[in-house]
Structure 1
Amino acid sequence: MLVIGFPTGALQANCYLVATGEGEACVVVDPGQDAVEPLEKALREHRLSPVAVLLTHGHFDHSFSVAPVCDGHDIPAWIHPDDQEMLSDPLKGISAETAAFFGGKLEMREPKQVRSLDDGAELDLAGLRMTVDHTPGHTGGSVMFRAGTEEGGRLVLSGDTLFAGSIGRTDLPGGDHRSMLTSLRRKVLTLADDTVVLPGHGPTTTIGRERVSNPYLTQLGDSAPAAPHRGL
């Protein structure tokens, strides 16, 4: 499996390209701000052909370039329906402080093709099989994508549900701390320790490493500390 990742935009959200190998079809995950140019460069360099964009959630730092990427390649975007409205109204998902930082204006539009992600769905795209896990908490429509590799490994694209050493904040519109705790218990802690985590911000990690060192997993419960402001 080939995975290419790079940070995008002011908030350094990770964008990923995932394929079975060089010169193959691929999926694009979370094309955020200023993602188009580095994405197109990576496509050319690795001779990849995108067939879909997958969105872990609707926040603009993960979805800002979805329309130009999808419409430019005539491919669909996949997003959970609870977050779809943010593709055309990104201010619905951010804090007043973030909105002010960007001058109170963030113009986006939906791509021509938008498809819905459902919990437990199996996506067969670009020769890859990915399982969709609905993980509300950071947003109502947050999801993770799980996949296996031909080499026998496992990976999860966790969006802003899980980071190395942290979790996504839950104090934004659509966020809910109790829902986040439930998602972590049911969808994160149940994963195998050797699962590689490709998060929405920051470095790659593993489930095993986070299980023993991430304070939001080791102290899971209502008394867990509030999540720091990472991403939005």
Structure 2
Amino acid sequence: MLVLGFPTGSLQANCFLLATGKGGACVIVDPGQDAEEPIADALREHRLSPVAVLLTHGHFDHCFSVAPVCDGNDVAAYVHPADRDLLSDPLKGISAQSRAFFGGNLEMREPREVRPLSDGAVLDLAGLTLTVDHTPGHTGGSVMFRAGTEEGGRLVLSGDTLFAGSIGRTDLPGGDHREMLASLRTKVLTLPDDTVVLPGHGPTTTIGRERGSNPFLLELGDDSPAAPHRGL
């Protein structure tokens, strides 16, 4: 699998391109602020053709460029229905302080085609098989995308649900700390330790590393559903 990633915008949200290899189809995940040019450069360099744009959630730093990227390449955007309204009203998902920073004006629009994501859905795109996990907490429509096989090469694009050493904040509109803890117990800690984590911000990590050192996961304790799955 070919995985290309780079940070975008003032908040340095990670954008990823996934493909089976160079010279073929790809999916784009989280095209944030100022993502159009680096995406175009990566497509050209690796001779890739996008077939879809996937959004881990609706915050503007992850999807600010979704309309021009989708419409410019004639592909659909996939987002959980709970976050779809943020694509055209990004101020609904940010704090009052952030709204003031933008002068109460942050304009976005939906792409021409938007498709819904649901928990447990399996997406067959660009020769890849991606499983959707609904992980509310950071936003109501947060999701993760899992790829790979039991034989190895497993990865998860965790969005702002899980970071290296931390988790996404839950104090923004649409956030819910109790739901975040439930998502971490049932959707994150149940993953195999060798799963590579591609987070929405910051460096790559693994589930095993986070299970053993992430203070937010450690607080969940060994009574979580993760215990029987360790070492798989």
Q: What TM-score do the two structures reach when normalised by structure 1?
A: 0.94
Runs of at least 5 residues in structure 2 that lack an aligned partner in the other structure: 222-232
Q: For structure 1, which segment, 149-158 or 191-200, has the greater mean C-alpha deviation from structure 2 after superposition?
A: 149-158
The residue that corresponds to 1:227 in the other structure is none
Amino acid at match of 2:77: A
Partner of 2:168: 168
TM-score normalized with structure 2 length: 0.94
- CA deviations 1:3-58 (Å, max 9, x no partner) are 00000001000000000000110000000000000000000000000000000000
Whether 2:196 is the aligned partner of 1:199: answer: no
Number of residue-to-residue matches in the alignment: 221
Separation of aligned partners in 2, 1:101 and 1:209: 36
Q: Counterpart of 2:226?
A: none
* Alpha-carbon distance in 2 for matches of 1:195, 1:151: 11
CA distance in 2, matches of 1:215, 1:150: 27
Q: Displacement of 1:117 after TM fit?
A: 0.1
Partner residue, 1:91: 91
CA drift at 1:103: 2.2
Which consecutive unaligned segments of at least 5 residues does structure 1 have?
222-232
The equivalent of 2:120 in structure 1 is 120
Amino acid in the other structure paired with 2:27:
V
2:131 maps to 131
Q: Residue type of the partner of 2:20? A: T
Q: CA deviation at 1:165?
A: 0.1
Residue 58 of structure 2 corresponds to 58
CA-CA distance at 1:152 after TM superposition:
2.6
CA offsets per residue over residues 65-85 of structure 1, 9 Å max, x none? Answer: 000000000000000000000
What is the deviation of 1:100? 1.7
Q: What does residue 38 of structure 1 align with?
A: 38
Matched with 2:110 is 110
Identity %: 82
Of residues 7-16 and 93-102 in structure 1, the stretch that sits farther from structure 2 once superposed is 93-102
Q: In the alignment, which residue of structure 2 is the partner of 1:145?
A: 145
- CA deviation after TM superposition for structure 1 residue 104, in Å: 1.8
- Higher alpha-carbon deviation: 144-153 or 129-138: 144-153
Compute the RMSD of aligned alpha carbons: 1.2
1:102 shift after superposition: 2.0
